[in-house]
Amino acid sequence: MVHFIHLMPLCIPDNMSRQPMAISDEDYKKVNEAITAVKDDGKEIRSVFESYYEEEIEIDWEVDAAVDALSIFSSRWTVEILATLYIAGDRRFNELRKLLRGISSRTLSDKLTKCVETGLVDRVVETTSPVKVTYQLTEHGRDAGRLLGPLVAYMKIHQGRVTRHSL
């Protein structure tokens, strides 16, 4: 016999205490259809990769490659920085720091440097007086945001952050 236990979080972060976003039935359906299409694409991609397996070692290689590819997103604050730039657009350092409540200047600087090194973010320097530095997603960063968008939407719905609003 299988028992399912649903654990509730012990504390709710400030940004989680907001009311869910209520969207129309029509838009809710569109979002779910897009998520389903992405899931179907994911299945197709998996089957293509699986068709190349000849030995068990190749599965290990693919797992390692997947973990390596996603490692940039597993670091604390990196996802938050990328999501902020994706949603809010180009930002200066202090604007990012204000939007990312709780991040230290040192951590933000380190994480932005890593995002620039991995090609997800550009650091644009304007040689005005005073010098103006803006951070923006590269094309690679925007593509990653677009690809992660369906996953984020799925998780928002699953967590109750987005709900259906019937008129």
Instruction: Give domain status of residue 96, yes or no.
Output: yes
Q: Are residues 144 and 155 in the same domain?
A: yes
CA angle 112, 117, 118 (to 5 degrees): 100
Mean pLDDT, rounded, for 160-165: 90
Tell me how far apart the alpha carbons of residues 134 and 129 are, in angstroms, rounded to a whole number.
14
Q: Specify whether 58 is located in the same domain as 48.
A: no
CATH number for the domain spanning 64: value is 1.10.10.10
Same domain flag for 74 and 140:
yes
Same domain, 28 and 62: no
Quote the DSSP letter at residue 8: P
Closest by CA position to 139, among listed 78, 94, 86: 86
Structural domain count, the chain: 2
Query: Is the N-terminal amide bond of 13 cis, ω within 30° of 0?
Result: no
Portion of the chain with pLDDT greater than 90, in percent: 65
Confidence (pLDDT) at 59: 78
- For residue 43, give its domain range: 23-52
Most confident of 12-21, 46-55, 70-79: 70-79
Is pLDDT at 5 greater than 80 in this prediction?
A: no
Residues pairing with 115 in the sheet: none
On whether both 107 and 123 belong to a single domain, the answer is yes
Task: State the pLDDT confidence band at 52, using cuts at 50, 70 and 90.
Answer: confident
- Whether 109 and 59 map to the same domain: the answer is yes
Do 48 and 60 lie in one domain? The reply is no
Confidence of residue 56 (pLDDT cuts 50, 70, 90): low
Q: What is the pTM of this model?
A: 0.75
**Of 45, 37, 66, 48, nearest to 150 (Cα)?**
37
Note the helical H segments in 2-138: 25-50, 56-74, 78-88, 93-99, 105-117
